C-alpha cells in the first residue's frame, strides 16, 4: 500500500520530500518512526496533484487538521491523514508546506538526497536541513540531532567552519564523546570562538580518559542552555499557528475526522 502511494506521488508529478522521523531512520539516526512526514512544495498545482493521490488511496482526515487549503499551508500549518493499509491497519501521514527553520522548498530540494527505502527510492530532506527541523520542544529529538550530525561529519570535515557547525549541533554527552572518538582529527581544525570546554572534553576523550567532573558539568550546562534556547524558539514559532488552530476549532472549521479527502 505505502509503496504504491509513493509510486503514485511520483507518477502524478507531486513535488515532495520525506522529512522528520522516517528521514532520521534512513540516515541511521533513529531506529523507528510510526508516522510518515512529507514536505510538499506549497503551490496550488502541487497541492491539487497531492489531493488527487490521497483521494485515490482512500485517505481520510485525522485529528486537528485545519482547512486543507494552500493559504493555510503557507502559514505553516500541518495536515494529518490516515491511509488504509490492509485489514484493520492504517498509516498516519503528516504533511506540511512550510516547515520551520529550513527556508524555501526549492532550495531544500536541491540539497536533498534520493534514498533507497522499502517503498522505493524516495526524495529525502538533506541532513543539514533535517538537523534544523528536529530542533523542537521534544527533548528526545536532541540525541537524534547529534547522531545526524555524526552521520554528516563521517562524510568528511575538512574546514573549521564545518567542525563548528557539527559542534554547535551536538546536545548530549554520548553523541559528543562518539564524535571525538570517531573524528579525533577535528581537534586540529578547531574553529575560532567555539567553546573551550568542548575542546577540553575532546582532548580527554581522544586520550582515552574520562573527563574531569568539572569539565563534564560545564559541557552539560552548555548543552542544557542550547536545548532550552531551541525549545524556546520552537515554542515561539508555533504559538501563532496553534492560536489560529484553536480559532479554527472554536469556529468549527477543522476538517471532520474520518472524512474522505
Q: What is the mean pLDDT of residues 165-179?
A: 96
pLDDT digits (tens, 9 = 90+) for 13-64: 999 999 999 999 999 998 877 789 999 999 999 999 999 999 999 999 999 9
Question: Based on the domain organization, do 204 and 103 belong to the same domain?
Answer: no
pLDDT digits (tens, 9 = 90+) for 66-99: 999 999 999 999 999 999 877 677 899 999 999 9
Q: Does residue 33 lie within any of the structural domains?
A: yes
Question: Based on the domain organization, do 122 and 197 belong to the same domain?
Answer: no
Confidence of residue 201 (pLDDT cuts 50, 70, 90): very high
Q: Does residue 26 lie within any of the structural domains?
A: yes
Q: Does residue 90 lie within any of the structural domains?
A: yes
Question: What pLDDT score was predicted for residue 87?
Answer: 66
Number of structural domains (the chain) is 2
Question: Based on the domain organization, do 111 and 22 belong to the same domain?
Answer: yes
SS3 per residue for the chain? CHHHHHHHHHHCCCCEEEEHHHHHHHCCCCCCCCCEEEEECCCHHHHHHHHHHHHHCCCEECCCCCCCCHHHHHCCCEEEEEEECCCCCEEEEEEECCCCCCCCHHHHHHCCEEEEECCEEEEECCHHHHHHHCCCCCCCHHHHHHHHHHHHHCCCCCCHHHHHHHHHCCCCHHHHHHHHHHCHHHHHHCCCCCCHHHHHHHHHHHCCCCCCHHHHHHHHHHHHHHHHHHHHHHHHHHHHHHHHHHHHHHCCCCCCCCCEC
Question: What pLDDT score was predicted for residue 156?
Answer: 84
Confidence of residue 169 (pLDDT cuts 50, 70, 90): very high
Question: Based on the domain organization, do 161 and 84 belong to the same domain?
Answer: no
Question: Based on the domain organization, do 120 and 149 belong to the same domain?
Answer: no
Residue span of the structural domain in which 40 resides: 2-126
Question: Based on the domain organization, do 154 and 108 belong to the same domain?
Answer: no
pLDDT digits (tens, 9 = 90+) for 206-249: 999 999 999 999 999 999 999 999 999 999 999 999 999 999 99
Question: Based on the domain organization, do 11 and 110 belong to the same domain?
Answer: yes
Question: Based on the domain organization, do 78 and 107 belong to the same domain?
Answer: yes
Question: Based on the domain organization, do 19 and 116 belong to the same domain?
Answer: yes
Q: Does residue 25 lie within any of the structural domains?
A: yes
Q: Does residue 257 lie within any of the structural domains?
A: no
Question: What pLDDT score was predicted for residue 72?
Answer: 98
Question: Based on the domain organization, do 20 and 121 belong to the same domain?
Answer: yes
Amino acid at each position: 500500500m505505502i509503496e504504491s502511494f509513493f509510486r503514485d506521488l511520483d507518477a502524478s508529478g507531486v513535488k515532495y520530500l520525506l522529512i522528520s522521523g522516517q528521514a532520521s531512520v534512513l540516515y541511521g539516526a533513529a531506529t523507528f518512526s510510526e508516522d510518515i512526514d512529507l514536505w510538499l512544495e506549497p503551490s496550488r498545482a502541487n497541492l491539487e496533484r497531492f489531493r488527487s493521490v490521497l483521494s485515490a488511496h482512500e485517505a481520510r482526515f485525522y485529528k486537528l487538521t485545519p482547512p486543507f487549503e494552500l493559504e493555510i499551508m503557507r502559514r505553516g500549518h500541518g495536515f494529518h491523514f490516515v491511509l488504509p493499509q490492509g485489514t484493520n491497519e492504517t498509516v498516519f501521514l503528516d504533511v506540511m508546506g512550510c516547515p520551520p527553520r529550513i527556508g524555501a522548498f526549492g532550495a531544500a530540494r536541491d540539497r536533498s538526497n534520493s534514498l533507497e527505502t522499502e517503498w522505493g527510492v524516495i526524495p529525502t530532506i538533506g541532513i543539514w536541513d533535517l538537523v534544523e527541523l528536529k530542533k523542537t520542544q521534544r527533548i528526545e529529538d536532541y540525541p537524534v540531532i547529534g547522531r545526524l550530525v555524526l552521520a554528516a561529519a563521517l562524510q568528511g570535515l575538512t574546514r573549521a567552519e564545518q567542525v563548528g557547525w557539527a559542534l554547535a549541533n551536538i546536545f548530549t554527552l554520548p553523541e559528543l564523546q562518539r564524535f571525538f572518538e570517531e573524528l579525533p582529527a577535528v581537534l586540529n581544525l578547531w574553529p575560532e570562538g567555539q567553546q573551550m570546554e568542548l575542546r577540553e572534553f575532546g582532548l580527554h576523550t581522544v586520550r582515552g580518559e574520562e573527563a574531569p567532573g568539572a569539565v563534564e558539568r560545564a559541557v552539560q550546562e552548555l548543552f542544557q542552555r542550547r536545548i532550552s534556547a531551541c525549545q524556546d524558539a520552537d515554542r515561539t514559532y508555533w504559538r501563532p499557528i496553534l492560536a489560529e488552530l484553536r480559532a479554527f476549532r472554536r469556529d468549527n472549521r477543522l476538517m471532520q475526522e474520518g472524512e474522505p479527502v
